[in-house]
């Protein structure tokens, strides 16, 4: 079945409301200074000048989680990818206000950048509240498919962590089904409360707060990359 690694396209909106003058200025002046280069390997040394631990966020929304984690871990490096223009502007505002120097951004498809990360280079990968594509015929568009997960597994070092958050019950069940088919990740939950309570160091984003106001449950999944080969299933 096709999935986001083979469809080679993005779905959904790319831009919402019109940018204000200050937002447009951020996009024109700050983004070029912290963009991921268009070519070459995406390594910690190339982006930050040293071999610090590297984090990768797929679809960072407005950047609250990305900025929080980067501020919490100033000696780590963070790569955030988001195709939505207004989301990128939101992240730039967090970076400017908080003077967060250890973030690099890409406005576009996260898998294009992830494919250029050296194997075993990442300490964390985050996928928080991805589009659930709830209709069965759209399941191939979900990021939680074996193609993207094969790539995530390859880029994570053994012992690295993959974090998933969702408030959509269909996506929750689908993700559990997909991850239960894999042998290259160990689920870190030991009791039901472990994926019903937000772990420490995992801030609440505005998207999550909105979900809770609507009465939605939110699920938090943490998986550790083990020593088995990426793509191992059975």
153: three-class secondary structure by DSSP: helix
DSSP string computed for 60-129: -TTSHHHHHHHHH-TTSEEEEE---HHHHHHHHHHHHHHT--SEEEESS-HHHHHTTSPTT-EEEEEEES
Catalytic residue among 71, 112, 131, 194: 131
Residues 6+ apart with CB under 8 A from 127: 57, 58, 59, 143, 144, 162, 163, 164, 165
Annotated catalytic residue 119? no
Of 158, 147, 149, residue with least CA distance to 120 = 158
**Active site positions, annotated:** 131
């Amino acid at each position: 079945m096709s999935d986001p690694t083979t469809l080679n396209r993005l779905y959904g909106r790319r831009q919402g409301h019109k940018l204000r003058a200050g937002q447009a200025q951020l996009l024109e002046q700050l983004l070029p200074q912290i963009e991921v280069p268009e070519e070459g390997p995406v390594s910690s040394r190339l982006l930050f000048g040293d071999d610090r631990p590297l984090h990768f966020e797929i679809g960072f929304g407005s950047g609250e989680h990305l900025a929080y984690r980067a501020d919490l871990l100033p000696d780590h490096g963070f790569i955030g990818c988001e195709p939505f223009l207004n989301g990128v502007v939101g992240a730039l505002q967090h970076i400017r206000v908080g003077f967060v120097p250890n973030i690099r951004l890409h406005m576009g498809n996260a898998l294009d950048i992830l494919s250029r990360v050296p194997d075993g280079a990442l300490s964390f990968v985050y996928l928080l509240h991805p589009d659930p594509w709830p209709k069965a015929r759209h399941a191939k568009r979900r990021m939680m498919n074996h193609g993207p997960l094969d790539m995530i597994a390859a880029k994570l070092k053994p012992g690295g962590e993959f974090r998933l958050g969702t408030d959509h019950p269909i996506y929750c069940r689908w993700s559990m089904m997909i991850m239960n088919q894999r042998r290259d990740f160990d689920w870190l939950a030991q009791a039901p409360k472990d994926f019903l309570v937000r772990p420490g160091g995992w801030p609440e984003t505005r998207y999550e707060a909105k979900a809770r106001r609507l009465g939605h449950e939110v699920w938090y999944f943490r998986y550790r990359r083990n020593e088995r080969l990426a793509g191992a299933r059975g």
